Amino acid sequence: MLRATLQNVDLFWVILLCFVALPEAGPRSANADSCHEVKTAYMMRQIGPVELVPERPRTGESLRVCGHPGPSCCTSKMEDNYMAAVRSETQQKMRSYSFELKYLIAGNSKAYQETFESLVFFTSNLTSTLFDSAYAALASDCRPLVFQLFSDIKRHLSGDPDTSLDLAVRRFCDDLFPLVYRRLLNPGISHMSTQSKSVHSTNHDDCLRMTRQDVVPFGPHPRLLVSSLSRALRPGRALSRLLRLAGDVVNATEKMTLSRECGRGLVKMQYCSHCRGLTLIRPCTGLCVNIMRGCLVGVSELGVPWGSSVVLLQRLAATLATSSNQNSMELALLAVRNHVNDAILHAQLHGPRITATVEKVCGPQAPGPITTSERSSHWHMSTHATSPASKRSTVTSPPLLHRNLQLQPRKSFPLKGSKGDKSRSLKKLSREFEGSIQRYQRFFSELPEMLCESEMEVEQHTCWSGQDVVESYAGRVVGSSLEAQRENPEMLVRNADTVLKGAKQRLEQLTKELLVELGWVSKVRGKGEEEDGGSAQTEGGSGDSCDDEDGCEASGEESGDETSSGRSPETKIVAPHHHHKPLPPHQRSPPQVAVRGSAHTMTSEPLTLVNLLLMLLMLLSPWEPR
């Protein structure tokens, strides 16, 4: 009995000594017996050759990051592999978090470009039909000019920095003037055929192009066209430019290189515990935040300009989603046909003056055979010129007035896709994008914390402080700015990544530039502050839920001499009343013709054919008192 009692006492002390030798809490230490768990984790994470992991803890290893007095399951070669692995893992986590944002930006950028191209393609064809139906003598030669004009408009909408609407319209008018002068103003004195053009004819066309801005054959309409397009297309162009830069910024953050100092901090946070055999312990939250903020200080510096750019993207999307603003873009593209029509009409109504000026500057035009289309156009004019006064005039009854009266009514411009069309309308696309991009306003500011959340999935009563197992992190958690990171207790932070620094500067510069171009910078600083993005509510009222799908009608926004542009057929637009000082007769614009069914400007009372002819005779014939 006594022997049995002594044996039980010895067993009790053995068990007690074993418990004393073990840590009070937490996972099993490497001081025990083997590095089997470390080798398993090393192999599962595919960090490197598993043969590098020793079977038992060693002492005397020259470790640069995870050194400590006791035995260790790590070697210097393992530390190098840990360094490479932890960099790759962190970059992969960053890419996984930014994948949705990158997809959102790329997908909407493509959708917007397809929508813009669809609008430009439609209005390009619509403008070409103007020449086919009303100016047959110009149709074949003007088709490439129209295509080039709308190609420039499409590139301008896409944000191409090398395109200028003013230059595009100027080039179009320069090339259009010789055709109008030769085939409409002076159809009886024609050039030779394309195959046998004389040097004199080519030089005469070049002279017409160079003197077009001085002769001003198209009146104010080229200038009004540039003004209308610039104002209406500005939000779409700004959105394209900002989306492209946003995509570049996201790509830059994904491709950023983590410094060696960052790699040392990540190894200390994630893998130095493995050297002690603690493969399941989690890093302390404060330790993770300090190290992640230090590694991603360049990304955190993007937070403020990125937030401002996201607010600007919301405002631009809200502007395009608003019914009146949406119509302004589409109607401005549609009104290109109107302006071209008005410009040619202006040249016809002022034909004698233009011809006299051109002959003084460029000399008389060389005669040549009349082509079939020109002969047909000349026949139409001669058959409708019955007045003696019109026979004395250089330009008889313009064919435009006759032909436009015969135009068939056209359907209104489609402001949205049909039900069978899978493409989203501009309005619906903008509303969806406005709601989606809002979630990423603080993405780069909060990315370090989001990466740390993935490390804190399991709650534990103890955590890894970078050197030992503790109950809570004792270090001071510093801010995410570059200035605050200079006092980071876990790693040395000198400067932000140069690539991300450049991305930050481009974001700041473009945001300010677009705010100025759009007129969204507050001119009156009430409390010494400047509007840097504001809310998503725009001047057009982004919260306006009324659209074309609800049966709402657009209201007129233009005033002055630009009220004649940007209106679609069969659309009622109520222009606001303005009181202007009357202009002298020589500064007044020529009368505009009201044509039913065309996309031209509508007047309140359409003129009859008799009234049109009488008006032309009064304008073109000198007053002879009886």
Q: Pull the structure tokens for residue 576.
A: 């606001």
Residues β-bridged to residue 58 = 72
Identify the pLDDT of residue 62.
83
Q: Are 533 and 242 in contact (CB under 8 A)?
A: no
Percentage of the chain beyond pLDDT 70 is 64
Identify the pLDDT of residue 357.
92
Run of H or E including 150: helix 136-157
Per-residue confidence band for 199, with pLDDT thresholds at 50, 70 and 90? low
Handedness of CA 533, 538, 542, 547 (dihedral sign): negative
> Given a cut of 60, is residue 576 above it in pLDDT?
no
User: How far is the C-alpha of 458 from the C-alpha of 280, rounded, in Å?
Assistant: 10
The residues, ordered by sequence, that sit 6+ positions from 586 with a Cβ below 8 Å of its Cβ are none
What is the residue-wise DSSP string for 442-494? THHHHHHHHHHHGGG-S--S-EE-SSSEESS--SPPP-SSHHHHTT-SSS---
pLDDT in tens, 238-248: 999 999 999 99
Percentage of the chain beyond pLDDT 90 is 51
Give the mean pLDDT of 257-269.
Answer: 93
Residue carrying the six token digits 């010494």? 528
pTM: 0.71
The more confident residue out of 399 and 204 is 204
Give the mean pLDDT of 577-591.
Answer: 38
Residues β-bridged to residue 72 = 58
Give residue limits of the domains in the chain: 83-407+452-521
Q: Are 205 and 178 in contact (CB under 8 A)?
A: yes
pLDDT in tens, 344-367: 999 999 999 999 999 888 887 655
Residue 463, φ and ψ in degrees, nearest 5: -150, 170
Helix axes 426-437, 76-134, angle to 10 degrees: 160
User: How far is the C-alpha of 87 from the C-alpha of 267, rounded, in Å?
Assistant: 9
Per-residue confidence band for 33, with pLDDT thresholds at 50, 70 and 90? confident
Per-residue confidence band for 333, with pLDDT thresholds at 50, 70 and 90? very high
Per-residue confidence band for 152, with pLDDT thresholds at 50, 70 and 90? very high
pLDDT in tens, 521-532: 864 333 344 444
Give the mean pLDDT of 324-334.
Answer: 80
Q: Are 253 and 228 in contact (CB under 8 A)?
A: no
Identify the pLDDT of residue 325.
61
Give the mean pLDDT of 56-85.
Answer: 89
> Given a cut of 90, is residue 128 above it in pLDDT?
yes
**Average pLDDT of the chain?**
74
Which of 342, 405, 333 has the alpha carbon at shortest distance from 611? 405
Q: Are 82 and 271 in contact (CB under 8 A)?
A: yes
